[in-house]
Structure 1
Amino acid sequence: KSSREEVLRSAVEAVEYLKEHGVTVEFSAEDATRTDPAFFKQVYKAVEEAGADRINIPDTVGVMTPRRMGKLVGEIAETVKVPISVHCHNDFGMATANSLAGVEAGASQVHVTVNGLGERAGNAPLEEVVMALYSLYQFKTNIKTELIYETSRLVSELTGVPVQPNKAIVGENAFTHESGIHVHGVIQMPLTYEPVSPELVGRKTVIVAGKHAGLHGVRKKILELGFAPTEEQMVEIIRQVKELGDKGKYVTTTDLISIASRICGQVPPEEKTVELKELAVVTGSGVIPTASVKLIVNGKEYVSSETGVGPVDAAIKAIRKITDSLVNVRLKEYRLEALTGGSDAMAEVVVKVEDAKGRMVSARAANADIVRASVEAMINGINRLLYLAKKGTL
Structure 2
Amino acid sequence: MRIEILDTTLRDGEQTSGVSFVSQEKLMIARLLLEELKVDRIEVASARVSEGELESVKMISAWAARRGLLDRVEVLGFVDGTDSLNWIREAGCRVINLLCKGSLKHCELQLRKSPEEHIADITTVVNNAQKMGFDVNVYLEDWSNGMQHSPDYVIQLMNALIKLPIKRFMLPDTLGILNPLQTLEYMRKMVKRYPNVHFDFHAHNDYDLAVANVLAAVISGAKGLHTTINGLGERAGNAPLSSVQAILKDHFNAETSIVEDRLNDISRIVESYSGIAIPANKPIIGENVFTQVAGVHADGDSKSNLYYNDLLPERFGRVREYALGKTSGKANIRKNLESLGLELDEESMKKVMERIIELGDRKELVTQEDLPYIISDVLKHSSANSKVKLLDYFLTLTSGLKPVATLKISVNGKEYEETSSGDGQYDAFMRALRKVYKNTLGRKFPMLINYAVSIPPGGRTDAFVQTIITWKNNDRVFRTKGLDADQTEAAIKATVKMLNIIEEEY
Q: Do they superpose with TM above 0.5?
A: yes
Give the percent of matched residue pairs that are identical in Structure 1 and Structure 2. 29
What amino acid is the match of 1:13? T
**Aligned 8 A contact 1:191 1:197 in 2:** no
Which of 237, 245, 251 is 2:366 aligned to? 251
**1:32 maps to what in 2?**
143
Cα distance between partner residues in 2 of 1:218 and 1:192: 17
Displacement after TM superposition at 1:259 (Å):
4.1
Structure 1 residues 223 and 28: CA distance shift in structure 2, 3 A: closer
CA, structure 1 residues 349+17, in 2 after alignment: closer, same or farther (shift >3 Å)?
closer
**Cα offsets for 1:51-110 (capped at 9, x unmatched):** 211111100110000010111111111222211000001111111111111111010100
Distance in 2 between the 1:347 and 1:366 partners?
Answer: 4
**Could you say which residue in structure 2 is the equivalent of 1:91?**
206
Secondary structure of the residue aligned to 1:49 is coil
- Cα distance, 1:6 vs structure 2: 1.2
Cα distance in 2 for residues equivalent to 1:349 and 1:152: 18
Alignment check: 8 A CA contact 1:54 1:84 kept: yes
Unaligned runs of 5+ in 1: 272-305, 318-328, 351-364, 382-394
| TM-aligned CA distance change 1:184 to 1:54, over 3 Å | same
Cα deviation for residue 245 of structure 1 reads: 2.1
Answer yes or no: is the 8 Å Cα contact 2:187–2:217 preserved in 1.
yes
The CA deviation at 1:189 is 4.2
Residue matched to 2:186: 72
> How far apart in 2 are the matches of 1:29 and 1:185?
50
Is 2:231 the partner of 1:116? Answer: yes
1:309 paired to 2:424: no
Partner-residue secondary structure (3-state), 1:194: coil
> 2:278 aligned with 1:163, yes or no?
yes
Query: RMSD of aligned C-alpha atoms?
Result: 4.1
Q: Does 1:172 align with 2:299?
A: no
1:41 paired with 2:155, answer yes
The range that moved more, 214-223 or 18-27, is 214-223
Alpha-carbon distance in 2 for matches of 1:113, 1:376: 36
TM-score (norm 2): 0.55
Distance change (3 Å), C-alpha of 1:373 and 1:145: closer
Residue matched to 1:63 = 177
TM-score of the pair, normalised by structure 1? 0.69
| Partner residue of 1:129 out of 233, 240, 244 | 244
| Runs of at least 5 residues in structure 2 that lack an aligned partner in the other structure | 1-111, 386-392, 398-402, 408-414, 419-431, 435-445, 456-465, 472-479, 500-506
Higher relative contact order (CA 8 A, sep 6+): 2
- What is residue 13 of structure 1 aligned with on the other side? 124
Higher Cα radius of gyration: 1
What amino acid maps onto 1:60 in structure 2? T
Query: Larger deviation: 52-61 or 4-13?
Result: 4-13
Find out whether 1:50 has 2:137 as its counterpart: no
- Tell me how far apart the structure 1 counterparts of residues 179 and 470 of structure 2 sit (CA, whole Å): 51
* Equivalent residue number for residue 343 of structure 1: 454
Does the 8 Å contact 2:295/2:332 carry over to 1?
yes
CA deviation digits over 1:19-40, x for unaligned, max 9?
3333222111111111212111
* Count of aligned residue pairs for this structure pair: 324
The residue aligned with 1:385 is none
> Structure 1 residues 268 and 205 mapped into 2: Cα distance closer, same or farther (>3 Å)?
closer
Could you tell me how far apart the structure 1 residues matched to 2:271 and 2:249 are?
A: 24
Q: Note the C-alpha offset of 1:184.
A: 1.9
In the other structure, the counterpart of 2:197 is 82
Q: Give 1:130 deviation, angstroms.
A: 0.9
Contact 2:202 2:226 (C-alpha < 8 Å) held by counterparts: yes
SS of the counterpart of 2:292? strand
Does 2:479 correspond to 1:368? no
With over 3 angstroms needed to count, the CA separation of the structure-2 counterparts of 1:54 and 1:339, relative to structure 1, is closer
